[in-house]
Structure 1
Amino acid sequence: MFRTIESHRVGVPGMFGEGESMWYAVTRYMETHYYHVTVELDGRERRGRYALMVDDERLLQRVLVTQSDDAYVKSIQVVTPGHMNGSGDWKMEPLEYALVGHDAHDCSVSVLTVGSGLVYHTARDEAFDVSSLADRTLIFQPSMIRPNAD
């Protein structure tokens, strides 16, 4: 999850729209992965791009399912902590596939394939095997990205 600090707020609550606030910074204390989603706005009233940082696969799935001609996903990067990607530091890479399932202990596990072909997972078991996951749900695959119309 992301954490905000009131002194980092821009303006006053609601000045950017009902229920919305802008922030100079957000904080992340948990060393878990998240998604950096680029959304294209192509409506008559609003055009441009914005970045949406998503901390949860179900929310990412909802973003993908609710795309429209006016607001659609252009790209998804996954940001992984060093213990997950093996580098010792945070890394942002293009996401190719994401799925969730349950391991032998009925714990939820995320499995992420990045552009280089590497596969990361959130399982605590060192001997984790992706094929052992039960109740697999595909969250993302490349066909869910709108073809580039630029």
Structure 2
Amino acid sequence: MFTTYWHAEIPMPRSIAGPQQLWRFVELEHHGPWFYLTINKGTGTKNWRSMIFVATEEEFELMLEDIVAGARIEAVQIVTPARLNGTGNWQMEELTELVRIHDSENGVLGYDFRTASGGLYSDRISAAADARRTKIYSALICP
């Protein structure tokens, strides 16, 4: 999850901000992949884009199921830690596919990620022999 700090909040009257709170920065202490989504909330000729940070694979799955009404995903970037991407640093790449790896009882064992550059990363807690794969996201299906 992202951590926010009161001193980083941008004060806005509720009449202007609505249900949102604005922050100058957020912190992420999770050392796993996270996602940067570009969504388009408009229709017809009235389009506006918004970017959403999603902290975990599970939250990304939920977001795909419950995306803001009328919004569509334009792009998904995955931000991977050095332990996954092998570069020694965090790295952001366009995500083309996310696959959930699970056992026969649907217990999540981890995820596989494919990027536009051809990278294939795997973040699994187990390499069970009976592992099954479920495609969660594909750039070809979710433009």
TM class by shorter chain equals: 0.7 to 0.9
**Are residues 1:140 and 2:141 paired?**
no
Answer whether contact 2:102 2:132 (CA < 8 A) is retained.
yes
For 2:32 and 2:78, locate their aligned partners in 1 and report how far apart those are by CA, in whole Å: 11
Aligned mates of 1:56, 1:71 — CA distance in 2: 20
For 1:90, the equivalent position in structure 2 comes to: 90
C-alpha separation in 1, matches of 2:130 and 2:137: 17
Aligned length: 139
**Structure 1: 5+ residue runs without aligned partners?**
none
Equivalent-residue separation in structure 1 for 2:83 and 2:33 (angstroms): 10
Question: Distance between the aligned counterparts of 2:30 and 2:67, measured in 1?
Answer: 29
* Structure 1 residue 134 displacement after superposition: 2.0
Question: Which runs of 5 or more structure 2 residues have no equivalent in the other structure?
Answer: none
**Amino acid across the alignment from 1:140:** Y
- Partner of residue 116, structure 2: 115
Does 2:9 match 1:9?
yes
Shift of 1:48: 0.9
Within a 5 Å distance, the mapping from 1:1-150 to structure 2 comes to 1-12=1-12, 14=14, 15-18=16-19, 20-43=20-43, 47-66=47-66, 70-102=70-102, 108-123=109-124, 132=129, 134-146=131-143
Relative to the length of structure 2, the TM-score reads 0.81
Cα distance in 2 for residues equivalent to 1:63 and 1:141: 14
TM-score by length of 1: 0.77
Q: Write out the 4+ residue segments of structure 1 that deviate beyond 3 Å after TM superposition.
A: 12-15, 65-70
Question: Secondary structure at the residue paired with 1:92?
Answer: strand
1:113-139 deviation digits (Å, cap 9, x = unpaired):
1112111111256xx59xx46242211
Aligned-residue offset at 1:71: 1.1
Q: Report % sequence identity.
A: 24
Q: CA deviation at 1:107?
A: 5.8
- Aligned residues: CA RMSD: 2.8
Q: Is the contact between residue 64 and residue 144 of structure 1 (CA under 8 Å) also seen in structure 2?
A: no
